[in-house]
């Protein structure tokens, strides 16, 4: 769902720490589901496996190591004027648009 002008994403999520609301975000259903599924959240900025940390990579808490996700061959469509590409993990709602329709 593309966001236009002042349209807010459909879900509002509150982050509560020690019974105090620390922050509130408006987000899409997918990211809200991730936040509300009790995920492990960690700073991986300087992690030794940083190049392997992408969507669908696996994490082993006993070794604190990540394993890269298997490569998935996807069908490629041409870019069309007005298309916007989001980052691999879905990115910001403001970046998401309907993919290009392949020429007939």
- Number of neighbours of residue 9 by Cβ within 10 angstroms: 18
- The predicted structure's pLDDT at residue 76: 58
User: Which pTM does this prediction carry?
Assistant: 0.55
Which residues in the chain land under pLDDT 50? Answer: 92-100
- The predicted structure's pLDDT at residue 69: 86
Mean pLDDT rounded to a whole number for the chain? 78
Q: Which tokens is 78 given?
A: 């041409």
d(CA 6, CA 75): 33
């Amino acid at each position: 769902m593309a966001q236009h002008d002042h349209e807010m994403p459909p879900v509002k999520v509150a982050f509560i720490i020690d019974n105090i609301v620390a922050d509130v975000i408006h987000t899409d259903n997918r990211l809200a589901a991730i936040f509300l599924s009790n995920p492990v959240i960690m700073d991986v900025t300087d992690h030794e496996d940083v190049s392997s940390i992408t969507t669908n990579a696996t994490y082993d808490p006993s070794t604190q190591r990540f394993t890269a996700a298997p490569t998935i061959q996807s069908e490629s469509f041409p870019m069309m004027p007005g298309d916007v590409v989001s980052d691999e993990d879905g990115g910001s709602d403001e970046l998401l648009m309907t993919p290009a329709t392949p020429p007939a």
